Amino acid sequence: MAVDPVTMTYRVPYADTDQMGVVYYANYLVLFERARNEMLRAYGLTYRELEQLGVALPVVEAAVEYHSPSHYDDLLEISAVCSEYKGVRIKVSCQVRRDGKLLAEGFTRHVFADMKTLRPVRPSAEILTRLRLA
């Protein structure tokens, strides 16, 4: 799958940090979600449009590997790319960097699901094309 990552910037607010002054570990999954949202938008299909097509993308697996902490007021670059598509599942790989230095990396795995039943469904040709998976 040869799709370029989509990168966004995010300035860390004080509310994202813990008592030690570093970004709380679980907030990296929130950063992944923000980047994933922007990736979908850049690919031409927002979550709202996906839901209007009757499809949800629930997370079924998530992982983060932490390399170095980030702090209040850091300007982060968060990238996301759809790195794998198989059947009804996609994997979105993410990286968080500050000034080019890798701080964290990981992924979320999602299943295409019917909005009403939440049962797995194969994505339509339109969805695959718009998400650059076809």
18 labelled catalytic:
yes
Place of tokens 């702090």: 71
**Selected catalytic residue, list 4, 16, 18, 74:** 18
| Amino acid at position 87, single letter | G
Place of tokens 């940090």: 17
Task: Let me know: does 85 contact 110? Beta carbons within 8 Å.
Answer: no
Residues with Cβ within 8 Å of residue 41, at least 6 apart in sequence: none
- Cα first-last separation, the chain: 9
The set of catalytic residues is: 18
